[in-house]
Amino acid sequence: AQSVTQLGSHVSVSEGALVLLRCNYSSSVPPYLFWYVQYPNQGLQLLLKYTTGATLVKGINGFEAEFKKSETSFHLTKPSAHMSDAAEYFCALKISNFGNEKLTFGTGTRLTIIP
C-alpha cells in the first residue's frame, strides 16, 4: 500500500528565511504527488502538483517542490517566508488515474513564521 511521511509536525522559520517542508512517499507504482495548504477552520487549497514530466514544479504563492524518484521525496520549498505562509501543509499521493481519485495524506506540518 502507498504511504506518505511528513518529517516534522512543526516547523518554525523566521520571516524572509528559507522554508523547507519534507515529504517522503512509498508507492509500488509511479505516484502523482500534491501539496495542499490549510488555514484554520478551512478546507484545503492546492499549492502544486506533480504528475509527469518536469520534476521541479512551481506552485502558487512562490512555493515549489522537486520530485526525486531516487530519494522517494517531494519536499516543498519557498526561498523567503512571509507571515501569510503560516498554516498547515499536507503532502498527498495518488496512484490511480482511472476513476479512483483517492488521496493518501501525510500527517501534516504546521508552519510557524517568526517575525
Type of residue at 93: L
**Does residue 112 bind other proteins (CB under 8 A)?**
no
**Does residue 103 bind other proteins (CB under 8 A)?**
yes
Count of residues binding other proteins (CB under 8 A)? 22
Contact 95, 2 (CB under 8 A): yes
- Cα–Cα distance measured from residue 68 to residue 72, given in angstroms and rounded to the nearest whole number: 6
**Does residue 31 bind other proteins (CB under 8 A)?**
no
Least distance from C-beta 80 to other proteins, angstroms?
26
Contact 48, 63 (CB under 8 A): yes
Binding site residues, other proteins, CB under 8 A:
34, 36, 41-46, 49, 51, 90, 97-99, 101-103, 105-108, 110
